[in-house]
A and B are shown apart, each in its own frame.
Chain A
Amino acid sequence: MIYRISALLLLIFSSLLTSGLRIEITEGIKDPIRIAIVPIVWNLENPPREYLHEIISSDLESFGEFESLSPKEMLSLPKTDKEIFYRDWKLLDVDYLVLGSALQGEVAGEVVVNFSLFNVTRERLMKRSISTGTTFYLNALAHVISDRIYNEINGLPGIFSTKISYINKNNSSDEKYFLRVADIDGRNDSNIFSSTEPLMSPDWSSDGRRLAYVSFEEGTSRIFIQEIYTGKRKSLKREKGINSSPNWSPSDRYLAAVLSKGGNPDIYRYDLEKDTWKQLTKHFGIDTEPDWSPDGKKIIFTSNRSGTPQIYEITISNGKIRRKTFEGTYNARARYTPDGRSFVFVHRRDELFHIAVQSLRTAKLQILTDTRLDESPTISPNGKVIIYATKEKEKDILAGISIDGQTRFILPTNSGGVREPNWSPLLVSTSN
């Protein structure tokens, strides 16, 4: 009995310890959307101990766009449409209201949640929806419901069912390098690969099932592809010199990457069906950090061909290269926004490295972050949020900012050593 309790405690503590990447808002928007998630009515014999409405509320609040009302503040707890008195909710300045009930599914452990979203200002029902999940993993079900609520209100996919991969390495020479994947709320933080030699540059495949990354386990850099759920690994044909910066094409057929076999780092394309490399850029300077445009027709990359690192874009069909950044002497590692209209990158100003965004059409550059050693920006699949790596008190941590610059947050951990975040694509369909 004591063993069981201690085993249980250990499980609880270890899950508390591993869920390090919790989002902590440091600066929110002035006027967040106010939403009330009424506690879900459980029509189950053994309702789970975790509260669905709490997970949904914390999901919606996580990037600062929403503020949710706690049940204690609610004037009534309606169970059905008829029990809603809009006046009560207007009094509390609530914009949206969610009611729901959970039923036993057909299979043991299965839960079916019916929920309804109301627009309080317009006093009308916006959406009714059904989501099915399991009591064993209530979070996944809550995230899907949060995604649907978000999608209905903002017209963009919700990102609460997405994951993040990152590299973990603590600051001493004897620590290992870890490639890890966690849910975006910090739960299910798990190890994908570890090595005593450096691991770098994880990049999610467009189907969300594989990670490409660089490993030095053979003494030099080599690109590997690993299936996340089976652990199956394959390596790309290694070439002399640098093998780095893998980036999946939108179709997952190709990887853009960097090889220096020609004497200096250039951008290449690896064909995963034919297992062959094709050279895309050829210059005696450094070409690196490729990223495919969302339509798959272009690749944005960093080159120091002008003397300092700047952002360039190549059209794959004709090899035409255009310089994109002209402000400053250090612009690097660009990532396209999901709409393909802008790119987010690292920009140096006054000897400090910040995350910036630039429109491809107007070329207007906007610095987003006020931290100092920022790098590795990764954009949420709905284009609203950026997570990046930075330093806080000499520790490697992740931080984030909304693309409009209004919300800022950090993802603190006890140990530090967290870097190279890469946001997964949407993993479950948010439309219904």
Chain B
Amino acid sequence: MSLFDQFLIIAAVICSFSGCASVSMDRAVEAETVSAVSESEYSDSDNPVEGTIYFEYDKYNLSASAVSEIRALANSIKSSSSKVRIEGHCDERGTREYNLALGEKRANAVSELLQVNGVSSNSITTVSYGEEKPVAYGSNESSWSKNRRAVVKVL
């Protein structure tokens, strides 16, 4: 393989990566306007009992799509009899301790809906991290919308 061929391949790979990045970025922007859209389909995990639910600023109510996402999660959790941990998170705006409380409300909202859909409370633990564990570090809506989330993880 010539040097030029290698360059072409590398360039193609970079282009495809950056292409992906811009697509998911657009979707993130959409998510903030549509409000609390579940984005678990973009999460790293392929495990059907894991997912991420997104929230509106300073809110802990669930959107319609989050509700259907959580219902699907509930079915997977029940059929695999998994134990899950729900982490509640916030964006950086506002005070840290208030955000810790807000993060718990988010985790609890997801936990309650899982229970309504038949998941035993014994299989769920919740923890709030408030704004202490962001996934995006910018001080802008595109970072904030990624950080306002509840993450369901299998234990």
Contact = CB atoms under 8 A, between A and B. Distances in A.
A244 B100 contact: yes
Contacts of B127: 219-221
A332 interface: yes
Contact of A242 (B104, B132, B133): B104
A353 B101 contact: no
A375 B94 contact: yes
A58 to B, nearest CB: 32
Contacts of B133: 173, 198
A420 B96 CA distance: 9
A373 B132 CA distance: 15
B96 A376 contact: yes
Contacts of B101: 242, 244, 258, 260, 265, 286, 288
Given A219-B127, A394-B138, A200 B102 contact: no
Contact of B95 (A171, A219, A264, A289): A289
A172 B130 CA distance: 17
Interface in A374-409: 375-376, 391, 394
Among B93, B95, B127: residue with most chain A CB under 10 A: B95
B104 A241 contact: yes
B100 A353 contact: no
B92 interface: yes
Nearest to A351: B93
Interface residues of A, number: 35
A286 B102 contact: yes
Nearest to B127: A220
Contacts of A394: 137-139
Contacts of A289: 95, 97-98
B95 A376 contact: yes
B104 A373 contact: no
B136 to A, nearest CB: 10
A265 B94 contact: no
A198 B128 CA distance: 11
A18 to B, nearest CB: 24
A96 B80 CA distance: 79
Interface of B: 92-98, 100-102, 104-105, 126-130, 132-133, 135, 137-139
21 contacts: A173-B135, A198-B133, A201-B96, A221-B128, A241-B126, A242-B101, A244-B97, A245-B97, A286-B101, A286-B102, A288-B101, A302-B98, A332-B95, A333-B97, A333-B98, A346-B94, A353-B94, A373-B92, A376-B96, A391-B139, A394-B139
Given A289-B97, A394-B138, 19 more contacts: A172-B137, A173-B133, A198-B129, A200-B100, A201-B96, A216-B132, A221-B100, A221-B128, A242-B101, A244-B101, A260-B101, A265-B101, A286-B105, A288-B98, A309-B98, A373-B92, A391-B139, A394-B139, A420-B96
A-B pairs with lowest CB-CB distance, top 9: A198-B132, A286-B101, A333-B95, A265-B101, A332-B95, A171-B137, A245-B97, A289-B97, A288-B97
Interface of A: 171-173, 198, 200-201, 216, 219-221, 241-242, 244-245, 258, 260, 264-265, 286, 288-289, 302, 309, 330, 332-333, 346, 348, 353, 373, 375-376, 391, 394, 420
